[in-house]
C-alpha cells in the first residue's frame, strides 16, 4: 500500500499547489491514500468548510488539524458531520469532532489516522502519548487497520522523536507537523515504523514559515507589532512524506521525502 502525507497547507498558495499538483502525484505514484494537514489552509489560521472541500476535491482522503483547529468559527459546526476531518485526539473531553478515524481508501484499504497535539512549548493539552496509544489499541495494525498514520502536531523535535520510538512496531508512520520546515531524517525505525520529524509545509518558502517576511522581521527587531501577519503567495512547494507498507503487517518497507515545486529542491519516491 502506498500513502502520501502532506504537511501544513499554508494559505492560498498552499491550496493552489495542492489543487494543481496533487491529482498528478496520485496518478504518477499510485498512492492509495492521501492525508493532508490543513490547519493553516485558511488565511494561515484554521480551515473553513469551503477550503476543506477544496482539499478533499483535490484528492485528500483525510485532513488533520492542530493548535489552530478552531480558529475559523465554522469549524465548530462542520467538524461534527465530517468524519474525514480530525482535530487532536488529546483535546479535552467534550471538544467537538474526533481525533482518530478508520477510513476506507480508494482501493478498499482500511487506514487509521490519528491526529495528536504536542505539549512541549505548546498550549496545555492532555497526554498525547496515552491518547494515541488508546486510539491504536482500539484498531490494531495488521488486524483491523491495513495502515496507521499518526500526525503529531508538535513544536519540539524531541517530543516527535519520542512518539516515533514509543509507537515503533505498532503504526506505519509517525510524522511531525507544525514547524513548517521539512526535516531530512525520514527513515524506518527498528520495529518497522517510518518516522519523519517534520513534513514541512505546503506553501511559499520565500517567507518566514509561510508569512510575508517584513512583519515577522519587524517583530524580531523591535518586539512591537506593526501590521498583521500576511500569508506569502508566491509559488508553493508541496512538502511531505510518502511510504509503502507491507500488505500483511502494515509496517513500512519504503519511505521517501516529498518536495515538489517552489524554491526547495525536488524529492520524489523512486518506486
Catalytic residues, by residue number, are: 68
At residue 6, φ and ψ (nearest 5 deg) are: -115, 135
**Opening angle at CA 123, ends 120 and 125, nearest 5:** 85
Q: How many Cα atoms occupy the beta-carbon half-sphere of 248 within 13 Å?
A: 0
| C-alpha separations of 22 from 29, 55, 60, 147, 191 in Å | 11, 9, 9, 21, 30
Confirm if 141 and 106 have CB atoms less than 8 A apart.
Answer: no
Q: Are strands 33-37 and 2-6 parallel, antiparallel or unpaired?
A: parallel
Residue 91 neighbours by CB under 8 Å, 6+ apart: 69, 99, 117, 125, 126
Q: Which of 83, 95, 89 is nearest to 115 (CA)?
A: 89
Amino acid at each position: 500500500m502506498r500513502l502520501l502525507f502532506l504537511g501544513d497547507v499554508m494559505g492560498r498558495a498552499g491550496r493552489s499547489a495542492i489543487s494543481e499538483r496533487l491529482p498528478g502525484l496520485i496518478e504518477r505514484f499510485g498512492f492509495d491514500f492521501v492525508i493532508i494537514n490543513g490547519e493553516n489552509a485558511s488565511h494561515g489560521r484554521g480551515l473553513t468548510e469551503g477550503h476543506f472541500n477544496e482539499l478533499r476535491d483535490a484528492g485528500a482522503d483525510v485532513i488533520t488539524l492542530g493548535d489552530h483547529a478552531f480558529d475559523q468559527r465554522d469549524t465548530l459546526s462542520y467538524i461534527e458531520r465530517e468524519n474525514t476531518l480530525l482535530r487532536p485526539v488529546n483535546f479535552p473531553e467534550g471538544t467537538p469532532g474526533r481525533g482518530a478515524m478508520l477510513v476506507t481508501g480508494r482501493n478498499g484499504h482500511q487506514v487509521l489516522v490519528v491526529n495528536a497535539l504536542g505539549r512541549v512549548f505548546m498550549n496545555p493539552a492532555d497526554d498525547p502519548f496515552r491518547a494515541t496509544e488508546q486510539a491504536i489499541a482500539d484498531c490494531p495494525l495488521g488486524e483491523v487497520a491495513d495502515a496507521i498514520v499518526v500526525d503529531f502536531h508538535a513544536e519540539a523535535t524531541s517530543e516527535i522523536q519520542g512518539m516515533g520510538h514509543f509507537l515503533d512496531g505498532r503504526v506505519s508512520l509517525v510524522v511531525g507537523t507544525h514547524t513548517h520546515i521539512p526535516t531530512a531524517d525520514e527513515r524506518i525505525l527498528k520495529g518497522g515504523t517510518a518516522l519523519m520529524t517534520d513534513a514541512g509545509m505546503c506553501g511559499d518558502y520565500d517567507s518566514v514559515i509561510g508569512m510575508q517576511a517584513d512583519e515577522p522581521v519587524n517583530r524580531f527587531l523591535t518586539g512591537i507589532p506593526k501590521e498583521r501577519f500576511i500569508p506569502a503567495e508566491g509559488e508553493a512547494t508541496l512538502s511531505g512524506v510518502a511510504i509503502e507498507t507491507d500488505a500483511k503487517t502494515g509496517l513500512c518497507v519504503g519511505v521517501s521525502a516529498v518536495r515538489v515545486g517552489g524554491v526547495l529542491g525536488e524529492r520524489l519516491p523512486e518506486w
